[in-house]
């Protein structure tokens, strides 16, 4: 029995607004102050200078007495006892001060704001007096605060009943800060939706329900939406998606979301893996590996969230998103190891391992995306355990049809604070995908270089002449450990903001 239909966003959502007031004058429930580490002890960062005088010069001594040095990730609460209009100061570490006042690293600001927002759970209103001398810094503070305050409480009936921070005020008078904070709210809303979807139990998010949510939210955002059900998929020749989904009582879907802008000079297609639950199929996973497989639709979630944000921000590109949705289950109707599928491109695939299913749904989406005549295709997927082995839980692997595109995508991701590392596509691994009876096998039986071999497999289905990149987010899409920075435990919304930033690079009259 389903426990309830997932909403489009969390019930408790933090709002954000700009405030140009000085930190020492703002009336709020809590004042977040950035603190630097210096040889002489912790010192307030720009934006929180007023605190030093408000505490009669005793702030540094108080922080030191509490064991607070100002290192990144540190946070401590200090009552003001009437020294400021705010009854509470939340000091958050920023590490060493940059050489220039406007030189604060954006990711350091995002993480600091996220740590503070999480510490302010149950607070109605807080002002963030973190360095925000530029509009980009104001946006970073706002994004960090909004994402750090995230809480997925839909299924909790007891325990900690304190709601997340209700309102965040970003203190800044930088030119363009108001627009930057509004942009941050749009990005955070998109990431919040992706996190909600990833965290939703698979019983409440089968492919058809995901497609309904995409159609509802996409239409509201002004996107054109097309949904192919199981009958249309079979008739259309989408053998990869139908093959993966045929073992489940919940049939597959392919969702196409499209956004166009009259000034666009480029078309970008995003393709997302949307396995709403991955048991491994007949190549069944161990139970411990299955427990977090509700997150196997994180790539489709990122594509969905990015398309919504691109539309709401009015980015001057044409953007198309494909959500390749299926549930991979074992049953009497499931595909079998040694089955051969005919994909949308017409190429055949021998299925040696039904747990290598993500690439099978992706190739249908990639081939279909070629019909949109895109300048660029980027697929995003929680694809391989090899990504986690090679790069860990927080860094995604990026592969591409050319080095320039790979490095561009890595640069964009890192600029958004989403760790990424460029990986090769070694030609010697292609032979391991040879099949004696089909055009290609879905895995290399030796499992060597599995993340790279998966990228090579996908490359075989990219339309000729189209630039293409593949991003493996198997680990980064779901945080199994404790929260850090602005990243909660559970769904992270990884790569949503990167896809938006990449689309913005392809606007006319913009430098790459």
Task: Kindly report, residue by residue over 251-291, the tens digit of the pLDDT.
Answer: 999 999 999 999 999 999 999 999 999 999 999 999 999 99
Question: pLDDT tens, 451-502?
Answer: 999 999 999 999 999 999 999 999 999 999 999 999 999 999 999 999 999 9
Q: Quick one: pLDDT at residue 55?
A: 78
Known catalytic residue at 285? yes
Q: Quick one: pLDDT at residue 1?
A: 30
Q: Which of 144, 173, 202 is the last residue of a domain?
A: 173
Residue 429: pLDDT above 90?
yes
Q: At 411, is the secondary structure helix, strand, or coil?
A: helix
Q: The pTM is what?
A: 0.96
The reply to whether 339 sits in an annotated binding site is no
Does residue 30 sit in the same domain as residue 147?
yes
Q: Quick one: pLDDT at residue 103?
A: 92
Sort strands 267-278 and 376-381 into parallel, antiparallel or unpaired: parallel
The reply to whether 27 sits in an annotated binding site is no
Q: Which of 113, 147, 173 is the last residue of a domain?
A: 173
Residue 512: pLDDT above 80?
no
Is 418 a member of any domain? yes
Query: Could you please report the per-residue DSSP string of 302-333?
Result: HHHHHHHHHHHHT-SSEEEEEEEEEEE--STT
Is 179 a member of any domain? no
Residue 503: pLDDT above 80?
yes
Q: Quick one: pLDDT at residue 40?
A: 87
Q: Count of domains in the chain?
A: 2
Does residue 283 sit in the same domain as residue 397?
yes
Question: pLDDT tens, 281-324?
Answer: 999 999 999 999 999 999 999 999 999 999 999 999 999 999 99
CA dist list (Å): 153 to 9, 13, 113, 196, 199 = 11, 11, 21, 10, 10
Sort strands 30-37 and 43-44 into parallel, antiparallel or unpaired: antiparallel
| DSSP state, residue 429 | G
Is 450 a member of any domain? yes
What average pLDDT does the chain have? 94
Is 10 a member of any domain? no
Token look-up 């964009």 returns 412
Known catalytic residue at 359? yes
| DSSP state, residue 403 | H
Q: Quick one: pLDDT at residue 4?
A: 44
CA dist list (Å): 24 to 88, 112, 129, 133, 224 = 12, 20, 9, 17, 48
Does residue 127 sit in the same domain as residue 248?
no
| Alpha-carbon torsion, ordered 182, 137, 396, 14, to 10 deg | -40
Q: Quick one: pLDDT at residue 51?
A: 83
Does residue 116 sit in the same domain as residue 262?
no
Residue 7: pLDDT above 50?
no
Does residue 250 sit in the same domain as residue 372?
yes
Does residue 285 sit in the same domain as residue 167?
no
Residue 510: pLDDT above 60?
no
Q: Quick one: pLDDT at residue 49?
A: 82
Is 5 a member of any domain? no
Mean pLDDT computed over 31-45: 94
Does residue 195 sit in the same domain as residue 161?
no
Residue 3: pLDDT above 70?
no
Q: Quick one: pLDDT at residue 6?
A: 45
Does residue 323 sit in the same domain as residue 361?
yes
Q: At 225, is the secondary structure helix, strand, or coil?
A: strand
Q: Quick one: pLDDT at residue 52?
A: 77
Residue 216: pLDDT above 70?
yes
Does residue 439 sit in the same domain as residue 332?
yes
The reply to whether 179 sits in an annotated binding site is no
Q: Which of 123, 141, 173 is the last residue of a domain?
A: 173
Q: Quick one: pLDDT at residue 10?
A: 52
The reply to whether 273 sits in an annotated binding site is yes
Q: Which of 253, 359, 368, 406 is catalytic?
A: 359
Is 184 a member of any domain? no
Query: Could you please report the per-residue DSSP string of 4-73?
Result: ----SS-SS--EEEEE-S-TTT---SEEEEEEEE-TTS-EEPTT-THHHHHTTT-HHHHHHHTT----TT
CA dist list (Å): 473 to 410, 413, 481 = 13, 12, 16
Residues of the domain holding 150: 15-173
Calculate what percentage of the chain has a pLDDT beyond 90.
88
Question: pLDDT tens, 50-105?
Answer: 787 777 778 888 899 999 999 999 999 999 988 899 999 999 999 999 988 789 99
Q: Do 256 and 225 form a contact (C-beta atoms < 8 A)?
A: yes
Does residue 283 sit in the same domain as residue 382?
yes
Report d(CA 134, CA 148) in Å as an integer.
21
Is 21 a member of any domain? yes
Is 300 a member of any domain? yes
The reply to whether 355 sits in an annotated binding site is yes
- Can you give the CATH number for the domain in which 139 is found? 3.40.220.10
Question: pLDDT tens, 180-206?
Answer: 999 999 999 999 999 999 999 999 999
Closest CA to 132 of 168, 166, 174, 100: 174
- Can you give the CATH number for the domain in which 445 is found? 3.40.630.10
Q: Which of 285, 347, 394, 467 is catalytic?
A: 285
Does residue 169 sit in the same domain as residue 266?
no
Does residue 303 sit in the same domain as residue 225?
yes
């Amino acid at each position: 029995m389903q426990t309830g239909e997932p909403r489009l966003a969390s019930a408790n959502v933090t709002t954000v607004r700009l405030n140009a007031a000085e930190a020492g004058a703002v009336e709020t429930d809590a004042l977040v102050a950035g603190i630097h580490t210096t040889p002489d002890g912790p010192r307030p960062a720009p934006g929180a200078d007023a605190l030093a005088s408000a505490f009669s010069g005793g702030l540094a001594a108080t922080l030191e007495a509490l064991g607070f040095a100002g290192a990144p990730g540190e946070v401590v609460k200090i009552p003001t006892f009437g020294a400021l209009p705010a009854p509470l100061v939340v000091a958050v570490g920023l590490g060493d001060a940059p050489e220039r006042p406007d030189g604060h690293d954006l990711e350091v600001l995002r993480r600091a704001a996220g740590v503070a927002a999480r510490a302010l759970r149950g607070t109605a209103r807080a002002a963030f007096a973190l360095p925000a001398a530029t509009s980009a810094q104001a946006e970073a503070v706002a994004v960090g605060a909004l994402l750090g305050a995230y809480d997925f409480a839909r299924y909790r009936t007891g325990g900690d009943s304190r709601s997340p921070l209700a309102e965040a005020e970003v203190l800044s008078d930088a030119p363009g800060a108001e627009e930057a904070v509004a942009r941050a709210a749009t990005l955070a809303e998109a990431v919040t939706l992706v996190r909600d979807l990833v965290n939703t139990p698979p019983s409440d998010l089968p492919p058809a329900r995901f497609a309904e949510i995409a159609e509802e939210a996409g239409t509201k955002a002004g996107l054109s939406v097309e949904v192919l059900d199981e009958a249309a998929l079979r008739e259309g020749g989408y053998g990869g998606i139908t093959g993966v989904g045929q073992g489940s009582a919940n049939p597959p879907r392919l969702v196409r979301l499209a956004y166009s802008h009259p000034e666009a000079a480029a078309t970008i297609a995003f393709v997302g893996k949307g396995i709403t639950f991955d048991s491994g199929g007949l190549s069944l996973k161990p139970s411990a590996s299955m427990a977090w497989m509700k997150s196997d639709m994180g790539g489709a979630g990122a594509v969905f969230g990015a398309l919504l944000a691109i539309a709401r921000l009015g980015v001057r590109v044409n953007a198309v998103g494909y959500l390749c949705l299926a549930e991979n289950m074992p049953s009497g109707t499931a595909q079998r190891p040694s089955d051969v599928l005919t994909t949308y491109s017409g190429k055949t695939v021998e299925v040696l391992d039904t747990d290598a299913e993500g690439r099978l749904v992706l190739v249908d989406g990639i081939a279909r995306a070629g019909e949109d005549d895109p300048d660029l295709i980027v697929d995003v997927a929680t694809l391989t355990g090899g990504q986690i082995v090679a790069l860990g839980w927080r860094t995604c692997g990026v592969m591409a049809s050319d080095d320039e595109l790979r490095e561009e995508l890595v640069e964009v991701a890192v600029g958004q604070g989403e760790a990424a590392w460029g990986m090769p596509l070694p030609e010697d691994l292609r032979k391991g995908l040879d099949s004696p009876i089909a055009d290609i096998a879905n895995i290399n039986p030796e499992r060597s270089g599995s993340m790279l071999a998966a990228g090579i497999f996908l490359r075989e289905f990219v339309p000729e002449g189209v630039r293409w990149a593949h991003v493996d987010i198997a680990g980064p899409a779901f945080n199994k450990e404790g929260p850090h920075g602005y990243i909660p435990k559970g769904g992270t919304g990884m790569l949503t903001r990167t896809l938006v930033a990449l689309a913005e690079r392809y606007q006319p009259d913009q430098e790459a």
